[in-house]
Amino acid sequence: MVLLDNARKRLRSVLDEIGRISEFEFPYEGSRAALDLIKKLFDNRLTSLNQFTTQSDQGVIRQTCVMTLQEVDVYLPLLGFIVRSTNVRNAFEIFRPLQRMAGAVLEPGTAQNSRQTELVVSSEWMYSPFIFRAVPGLPGFVLIGLPSPESSNPLLVPLAGHELGHSVWVVTALGVQTTLDRLVYDKVAEVIINRWSEYQQAFPTIQIAPDELHSDLAAMETWEPAGVWAVSQVEETFCDFLGLRLFGTSYLEAFAYLLAPVIPGERSRFYPNTLARIASLVTAANAYKVPVPPGYQGQFEDNACPTLNRPDGFLLSVADEAVQNVVPQIIAEAERIVAASGIPASTPAQVDKIFRRFELVVPAEGCLGLPDILNAAWRAYRDPSFWMGNAQVEQKKDETLKELVLKNIEIFEIEQILGVRP
What residues between 76 and 115 interact with another protein by CB under 8 A?
Answer: 88, 92
23 is a site residue for another protein (CB under 8 A):
no
Gap between the Cα atoms of 55 and 66, Å rounded: 19
415 is a site residue for another protein (CB under 8 A):
yes
> Which of residues 292 and 393 has its CB atom nearest to another protein in the complex?
393
What residues between 26 and 65 interact with another protein by CB under 8 A?
Answer: 27-28
359 is a site residue for another protein (CB under 8 A):
yes
361 is a site residue for another protein (CB under 8 A):
yes
365 is a site residue for another protein (CB under 8 A):
yes
> Which of residues 62 and 356 has its CB atom nearest to another protein in the complex?
356
393 is a site residue for another protein (CB under 8 A):
yes
CB 77 within 8 A of CB 24: no
Q: Which stretch binds another protein (CB under 8 A): 40-48, 178-186, 188-196, 350-358?
A: 350-358
> Which of residues 2 and 388 has its CB atom nearest to another protein in the complex?
388
Q: How far is CA 316 from CA 67, 304, 324, 360, in A?
A: 35, 14, 12, 52
404 is a site residue for another protein (CB under 8 A):
yes
149 is a site residue for another protein (CB under 8 A):
no
> Which of residues 186 and 365 has its CB atom nearest to another protein in the complex?
365
383 is a site residue for another protein (CB under 8 A):
no
| Dihedral of the alpha carbons of 330, 242, 252, 369, in degrees to the nearest 10 | 150
406 is a site residue for another protein (CB under 8 A):
yes
Q: Which stretch binds another protein (CB under 8 A): 45-53, 198-206, 242-250, 410-418?
A: 410-418
| Smallest separation, CB 377 to another protein (Å) | 14
Phi, psi dihedral angles at 361 (to 5 degrees)? 60, 45
Q: Which stretch binds another protein (CB under 8 A): 117-125, 214-222, 331-339, 359-367?
A: 359-367
Among 2, 23, 25, 54, binds another protein (CB under 8 A): 25
| Smallest separation, CB 164 to another protein (Å) | 22
What residues between 238 and 257 interact with another protein by CB under 8 A?
Answer: none
Residue ranges binding another protein (CB under 8 A): 25, 27-28, 88, 92, 353, 356-357, 359-365, 391-393, 396, 399-400, 403-404, 406-407, 410-411, 414-415, 417-418, 420
